[in-house]
Chains A and B, each alone.
Chain A
Amino acid sequence: MTILDHIRKGERGILVSGNHPKIVQSILDFDYLSGNSQSVQAIVTNGKRSQKFFWGTKEILIPCYKSFAEVPAEKGTHVSFLLNVQSGRRAVESTHAFFQAFPEALGAHIFAENVPEAHATELIEAYAGKKILAGPSGVGLLVSGALKLGAIGGVDASQLVSNKLMTKGSVAVVSTSGGMTGELIHAVAEADRRLSFAFCIGGDRFPVSSLGEVLALAEADPETKGIAYFGELGGVDEYEIVELIRSKKLTKPVVAYIAGIIDESFDTHVQFGHAKALVANKDESARAKREALRAVGVHAADSFPEFLKALEGLPGGEEADREFDIAPLMTRRASILSTREVLDVSDIPAFVENGKLIPQESSFMTSATGALLGKELTSPVSKAFFEAVGKLLIDHGGNVSGAVTAMITARAGKDLVSSLSAGLLTIGPRFGGAINDAAKLWMRGVATKATAAGFVEEVTKSGSLILGIGHKKYRVGIPDPRVSAIESFTELLPRHEYFAFARSVEEVTTGKNGSLILNVDGAIAALTLDVLAECEGYSQKELQILADAEFFNALFVLPRTAGFMSHIIEQKRNDEGLFRLPDSLLFTRPLDEDSV
């Protein structure tokens, strides 16, 4: 059984060393589209406890550990491969560390360029022939529908689909050049063939798994029926193919393109892009290598278009492609990590039933409100009401400006109190601070005995907004569940004139726009006024003094402080790094504006 069979049977768990989110995400997308489980088990990197990725359109957390030794056993049992995206300097030590921790693992891909030659030969001595190891450098290894170990085949979900990477086929793609591995994978799909596997050897001088080993793997692989190979001038690897064919160790058809005829146009040999791409001897020229390959029956094309045509002649008989709808994957956006759920509709407690209070636990808000008012609450209705307000206002998810600011501050490394203060400072006329202003509006309306229509007319004419009215998400037909829950208190308040006035204003405004409903700020403001007036005996004048002192905003600040702190602590607990706004979310001046 070859290593490829093991992979196809499900030994495809990956441990990542270092950090390259784009590549890791493309691997998860490949797994997701293939209908497999997540291959990426964990990331070994410093400074993080977990990292966010997408699984389909859903966000998931992949755990991070500081060393291979810290990877817990239950994760470790699923590890078969290392994806090493460390720098060239650290590639060798991290690879050794991996195989020490996971001696049974099947292989690895080292992504870094600039791995010292002596380190590469050290890796060859340790692992060549025992493990499969793509690199140093290059884009890795792909087994169609089973394993994507590296950037190979693309990092966009759209590339995975157009390259048909999820469909099992019969052509093996082998190339030293990372870019041309991508090109060949695409060309195979265009030729209506599908991949058995693809292997990028890497353009470095000393790849760990050599061309010969990879071709031997292709020969032994029952799924592979033909091979597409891209090589370049320089080096003598192609003579390895010649030797394998001569000794009948490679019998499957090979279509090849050896690039570098252009070298003949120059007076002296030119060093091309890859380290190896320089003709040092006559037999290293593209022409010499093509001829040697042809002599043993390889279809070594004269031109790249001829090569593309020749791919169509490779044996086929592929499984049918599945259809993918990747539109949702292309439009997803990463969130700021926040697992705190917006208050669930079904979780909103009932406070009043059949005109009777449902006893609620806890008395913190009762004591706190008493402290704010400077006198204890006396009525069980008002006690229950302020407990309800506290509960409803603790948190409303991570989207709101105060929570975002608190989280970003925490992620910048600031302490709890600084982060909390940053969050609190956003509370004002547009966020949270509307309760106080709404209370003032309702008081004015009730005091002046205005009609709702006249009142709306008057407020809007002066250019102000009606605080307490309007919601981004809820609208007529989709009522805010928090407002409905709290509205039940009106059953215990015979007059509830403030609330009634607020509802009459809503009737006018929703007539203009369905989203201009009474929101939770407006409802709390109105009911607080009703509760204080009817249960605690507050006069209009006393209420006015409370409003001037911003008592009503305190009702928001108090519970929301707990909410902000919970977001801050979550960021710290998950060790989320410094936040930087992605370019895609920033509007920047178009590049060419100056020159037009």
Chain B
Amino acid sequence: MARVKITEYRAKRLILGDEYSGVSITSKSEVPFAKDTHLVVKVDQGIKKRMKQGLVAVDIQPNKVSSQLKEWEKRGFTSFLAEELVPHEQSEEQYLSLERVREGIRLLHARMGGIDIEEHPETLIKTTLSRNTVQEVSANTGLPEHFLNRLLSMFEEQHFAFLEINPLLVRGENVYLLDAAVLVDSAAQFFVSEGWSDSDIPEESATHETEAKIIDLQKTTPASLKLKVLNPNGSLFFLLSGGGGSIVAADEAALLGKGSEIGNYGEYSGGPTKEETYLYAKQVIALMLASKAKRKTLVIAGGVANFTDVKTTFAGIVLALSESAPELRRQGIRVFVRRGGPNEKEGLAHMQDFLEQEDLLGVVYGSDTPITQAVDDAVATL
């Protein structure tokens, strides 16, 4: 994914520099604030709607911080932020967001405080921010010029892709970032020196053990390997390839009324090796075998690849299938295949021979049959 979150601590530190006095802490760290300081403490792992989930503690004293963090740690959180509370009226709160769009940097600003922006889009000023328009934008919004220039340099040098400050306080030339969320462009990491790095990017959260395993596998390859577990006890499991083709195949299952039966969505693309495809397929097969559904089926589908080698990737899938062949047979699972692309003939023949030999054959289609046919055939057996 090109746009990734960085922690609020790193975001503010980059924007405000040494002026920022907040700290990144754990329950074991010292709290470097005077005893009588009023603090705001938050979970800092790129989670949305923290307030609603009770992941923000407002106005607590340094000696209470440790017990609050321990409580959050029990819930599985590991990264926290502490900063001084800024007392203010709700009417002071402003909204600001910047996003890189096709035309440049789009700025959205609302001066009216305490309003839900999504429900009142008419209160927003929408404009394009560039070095040439800083003065004008500053005049229209009341945001200090030095602050706008600083934010622009974040987009230029630190490859910010999206920034949202809500609420933002502006007092003359001073700005207070009460809450800030930043997405950076991970493709630009090479060009960022002395800024954010991998350690500032919170780990993607996995809601299922298999997802966690695929996330770990993804880290080891330039190819794209994605998996989302939808219904662990579903009956229809997918080994899909290609960003577009995978959605078309999944769409067909939804159209046939089997949306809730889908065990997983995911795709492999970008030319994974035989070994990588094997490891990916192995996880999907294990997930399927663990499902408690009575009837189950596996669909291996993808579009007509432009250059991903069908023979190579299918060799990996066959290897993974062969390891579980007896169990797949025992559970009465049949495999439905549709794929096209370079070395299609050899790849499909290998798959067909294997499935026949192991008595797992549903169908094997090539590029002459529409991508959705294998899904139709598989669903018919459920």
Interface residues of A (CB under 8 A from B): 22-23, 88-89, 113-119, 121, 124, 139, 151-156, 158-159, 162, 175-183, 185-187, 190, 203-206, 210, 230, 232-233, 257, 259-262, 264-266, 270-275, 277, 286, 302-305, 308, 591-592, 595-596
Contact = CB atoms under 8 A, between A and B. Distances in A.
Contacts of A274: 243-244
Interface in B91-112: 100, 102, 104
A223 to B, nearest CB: 23
Nearest to B259: A265
B155 interface: yes
B304 interface: yes
B293 to A, nearest CB: 16
A139 B306 contact: yes
Nearest to B302: A179
Interface string B134-163: 000000000000000000000110010100
Contacts of A273: 224, 226, 242-244, 246-247, 267, 269
B24 interface: no
A232 B245 CA distance: 10
Contacts, number: 189
A233 B248 CA distance: 11
Given A179-B243, A259-B247, A262-B259, A114 B342 contact: no
Contacts of B323: 595
Contacts of B318: 591-592
A182 B303 contact: yes
A271 B1 contact: yes
Nearest to A152: B306
B254 A118 contact: no
A205 B345 CA distance: 35
A262 B253 contact: yes
A179 B367 CA distance: 12
A181 B372 contact: no
B359 interface: no
Contacts of B319: 591-592
Interface stretch (B28-36, B51-59, B64-72, B184-192): B184-192
B307 to A, nearest CB: 5
Contact of A114 (B2, B254, B269): B2
Interface string B304-335: 11110000000100110011010000000000
Interface in B208-254: 224, 226, 228, 230, 241-248, 250-254
Contacts of B305: 179, 182
B187 A115 contact: yes
B340 interface: yes
A204 B2 CA distance: 9
B245 A180 contact: yes
B371 interface: yes
B259 A88 contact: no
Nearest to A139: B306
Nearest to A180: B244
Contacts of B242: 177-180, 273
B102 to A, nearest CB: 6
A159 B318 CA distance: 24
A183 B187 contact: no
Interface in B329-359: 340-345, 354
A387 B41 CA distance: 94
Nearest to A154: B306
A181 B304 CA distance: 9
Contact of B306 (A116, A158, A179, A257): A179
Nearest to B256: A303
Contact of A206 (B102, B304, B368): B102
